[in-house]
Structure 1
Amino acid sequence: MTDLTSTRSGDVVVGVDTHKHIHVAAVMDTIGGILATLTIPTDTGGFRQLLAWAEGFGRILAFGIEGTGSYGATLTSFLRRHDIKVVEAGRPDRRLRRANGKSDTLDAENAARAVLAGFATAIPKTADGTVEMIRQLKVVHDSAVLSRSSAMIMMKAMLVHSSDEMRRETNKMSRPKLARHLAGLRPRSLETPDDALRHSVRTLARRWLTLDTEAKELEALIEDAVRRTAPQLLEQFGIGVDTAAEILIVAGDNPERIRSEAAFAKLAGIAPVPTGSGMTSGRHRINHGGHRQLNAAIYRTVIVRMRFHEPTIAYVARRTAEGRSKRDIIRCLKRYVIREVYHLVKANPTTGEIGS
């Protein structure tokens, strides 16, 4: 009897389960199934070992890597420099995990099977250009804005317990003026709760001023990078720097990886999901997946256009007269905007030529 396990095609795919300090890989022949597994450290030496090990089993069709944008980013970059195809394997299905258990080896094997079966097809972002710079700056900027808001909320909450005189002085002050005023308080010896409160609000005020300066500096850097990368986005009504940055971050430095308008809409969670079954065919529901920050940015653009953009205002009036609800109209407008920006992110910023 022929041993099926010895049957080999010579073409292999590799699945990788990524972690902070180690990666676990499984190599799979297109006919012979899983051949072997390997654990490597997450450094250049480990990546070289992995590539040489995989090449020893035959011609590599592709690597399926889980977490190409996080723990698998450096491995993805290494493989691309060696002209190896990489796809995002994604997380294994939860039902499979419940039924078959979970381990690093099983996750690596599932990643290889997903690539071979054609379930894993997403091309990861290259993360090697200006858009990656924008993403890194925006992560820190958003953190500074969140911490700044937290400091102001805490400051105002503590002022509720301050003296009548301090409350009168700070009443109706703008946030910058309030922060500057409290930051200039003179310290006192800690003898009463009021002394502790003065120290506390002064510290929070100085923290707010520091974070405010930090956020504004980062905003300027982000705006400069966005204008250099995609000025055509900022020319559109209702699309500001923050929205343009979110669009670029999702598209990545290689927007050609997004094959169609529909794919970009799905990536943003704007494409409807079919829910028909039996006698209810043709029904759809809202897509709750996708990139939620981009979805929110497109929503803000739609709201601005509904209030100030004359063609959009006329469209809303016409659709309202047809019996459409405001919610449905917003969905239609979000789909229109994502279709518009899909072509803009693929445009050449120098020539203005729109990509296909």
Structure 2
Amino acid sequence: MTSMTVEPAESVVSRQIVVGVDTHKYAHVAVALDHLGARIAAQHVAANREGYAQLEAWAASLAGNGRVTAYGVEGTGSYGVGLASFLRRTGHRVIEVNRGDRRSRRSNGKSDTLDAEAAARAVLGGQAVAVPKSADGTAEMIRQIKIARDTARKAKTSAIVTLKALVVTAPADLREQLAGLSDKALIDRCASLRPGAVTSPTASAKHSLRTLAKRFQALQSEIREHDTILDDLTHAHSPTLRDGIGIGADTAAEVLIVFGDNPERVHSEAAFAKLCGASPVPASSGMTNRHRLSRAGHREANAALYRAVIVRMRFHQPTIDYVARRTVEGLSKRDIIRCLKRYLAREIYQAVMTDHRARQRLADHASVKRPRFDAASF
């Protein structure tokens, strides 16, 4: 696509620049700032590999003999994932930038160029420091399978809820045959119905119930297939994590999705706890000194921690003893669960990082070239 230069670049021998990128489905808009915050130029490129290369070459030409210190990219998990991956592979520092402040947008207006400039200024000013996920390994595979599984589970729930509602309004003779059955028996009975020609309300009800029941069965089979894949992937990717009490394939998958394929971007166990919404938030005022539960963070990961904690509270003796001791000390069940989620976040972080370091050692060992046999040396 054509270049859109807002301010012509000066002939500079060497300069340090930061590039902000506002990403879209078919095109990206970039704005370059120098190290003092002065706007240099803007560029409009296609959202494909040719456009990514064009953007990199444009930024390098603006830097001259200097360098591009960082790229601030919006939407690194959606429209910007391809650009972020390309820039990272070519050795550039990529920073994930959140959407701009709405109050600022109302005051100063909104355009793609302004959004790209805001992204660059967020990086230059230090407001944006997060390293995006690399999305090029097993964690990305887990994320994709998990999406398919979760949507299938929602559709399965919707199918049986709709089926039961249809039974309530079915003709009396059919409703009486299906009333009082367990979920499994109801699905099996409805799946075996033979509606014949749809010439009456009873036949149409049988047809609908049979369709919903078969949909439920198909989705159930699909979910089992997804669960098998997730179990294999999580065991292979993080065996230490899977060895934890109460951490099954679903919980491990949710946690590994949060870490991504470059878990070193989560710099500490405290940062991981905050990312999961499991760290306490100060709620003090005046003479009081207290904390409250965090409502921020990755809610699916927080729910995964909660499920694992509930399992441990029932079947893990050290956790059972901890709950009893803290209850005697006067803590509510809600506060005890908050503490346990914080402890579990620390344990998970250590397990994931242990497996990550082990993979790095194996990769480093494999990359070392073995000495070649030289007959002339003997």
User: TM-score interval w.r.t. the shorter chain?
Assistant: over 0.9
Q: What is the alpha-carbon distance in structure 1 between the residues aligned to residue 76 and residue 149 of structure 2?
A: 23
CA distance in 2, matches of 1:321, 1:17: 54
Kept in 2, the 8 Å contact 1:126–1:254? The answer is yes
Amino acid of the structure 2 residue aligned with 1:94? R
| Alignment CA distance shift 1:246-1:252 (3 Å) | same
Partners of 2:170 and 2:85 in 1: how far apart? 55
Q: CA deviation at 1:188?
A: 2.7
1:309 and 2:306 are equivalent in the alignment: no
1:228 to 236, 239, 252: 236
Tell me the secondary structure at the aligned position of residue 354 of structure 2.
coil
- Larger displacement relative to structure 2 (240-249 or 298-307): 298-307
- Superposition misfits of 4+ residues, deviation over 6 angstroms: 5-9
Cross-structure match for 1:83: 91
Q: Does 1:169 align with 2:214?
A: no
What residue identity is the alignment partner of 1:43?
Answer: N
Aligned equivalent of 1:158: 166
CA distance in 1, matches of 2:283, 2:11: 42
Q: Within 5 Å, which residues of 2 pair with 1:334-349? A: 334-348=341-355
List alignment gaps of at least 5 residues for structure 2: 1-8, 362-378
User: Aligned residue for 1:70?
Assistant: 78
Aligned counterpart, 1:40: 45
**Alignment of 1:15 onto 2:15:** no
2:292 is matched with 285
Q: Distance in 1 between matches of 2:337 and 2:360?
A: 29
For residues 293 and 334 of structure 2, what CA distance do their matches in structure 1 show?
Answer: 11
Q: 274, 277, 280: which is aligned to 1:266? A: 274
Give the TM-score normalised by structure 2.
Answer: 0.87
**Residue 209 of structure 1: how far off its partner (Å):** 1.3
User: 1:275 Cα deviation (Å)?
Assistant: 4.2
Indicate yes or no: 2:36 matched with 1:28. Answer: no
Q: Is the 8 Å Cα contact of residues 6 and 32 (structure 1) preserved in structure 2?
A: no
Amino acid in structure 2 at the alignment position of 1:344: A
Which residue matches 2:4? none
Contact 2:239/2:355 (8 A) holds in 1: no
* Residue identity in the other structure for 1:181: R
| Helix, strand or coil at the partner of 1:16 | strand
Q: 1:194 aligns with which of 183, 196, 202?
A: 202
Deviation at 1:347, TM superposition (A): 1.6
Displacement after TM superposition at 1:322 (Å) = 1.2
CA–CA distance in structure 1, aligned partners of residues 28 and 266 of structure 2: 27
Shift of 1:153: 0.5
Counterpart code for 1:295: N
Deviation at 1:349, TM superposition (A): 7.4
Tell me by how many angstroms 1:329 deviates: 1.1
* 1: CA distance, partners of 2:220 / 2:164: 16
Report Cα offsets for 1:40-92 as digits up to 9, x if no partner: 11011111111111111111001010111111000011111111110101111
| 1:283 Cα deviation from its structure 2 partner | 4.3
Q: Check the 8 A contact 2:241/2:348 in 1, yes or no.
A: yes
- Provide the aligned length of Structure 1 versus Structure 2: 349
Query: 339-348 vs 266-275, which deviates more?
Result: 266-275
Which of 144, 147, 152 lines up with 1:139 in the alignment? 147
TM-score (norm 1): 0.92
Flag the 1:117–1:330 CA change in 2: closer, same or farther, 3 A.
same
1:113-158: CA deviations, max 9, x gaps?
A: 1111111111111111111111100100110010011001100110
Instruction: Report the Cα distance in structure 1 between the residues aligned to 2:327 and 2:270, rounded to whole angstroms.
Output: 25
User: For 1:247, what is the secondary structure of its paired residue?
Assistant: helix
Contact preservation (8 Å) 2:152, 2:219: yes
Secondary structure class of the residue paired with 2:18: strand
What residue number does 1:50 align with?
55
Q: 8 Å contact 1:152–1:208 — kept in the other structure?
A: yes
Choose 152-161 or 284-293, whichever is displaced more: 284-293
Deviations 1:188-223 (A, max 9, x none): 323322221111111111111111111111111111
Contact 1:62/1:87, CA 8 A, preserved across alignment = yes
Indicate how the Cα distance of structure 1 residues 146 and 32 shifts in structure 2: closer, same or farther if over 3 A, else same.
closer
Tell me the CA shift for residue 164 of structure 1: 4.0
SS at match of 1:317: helix
CA offset at residue 326 of structure 1? 1.4
CA separation in 2, counterparts of 1:251 and 1:296?
16
- Identify the range of structure 1 (134-143 vs 102-111) with the bigger mean alpha-carbon deviation: 102-111
Does the CA-based 8 Å contact 2:171-2:201 persist in structure 1? no
Q: Percent identity?
A: 52
Instruction: Give how far 1:178 is off.
Output: 2.3
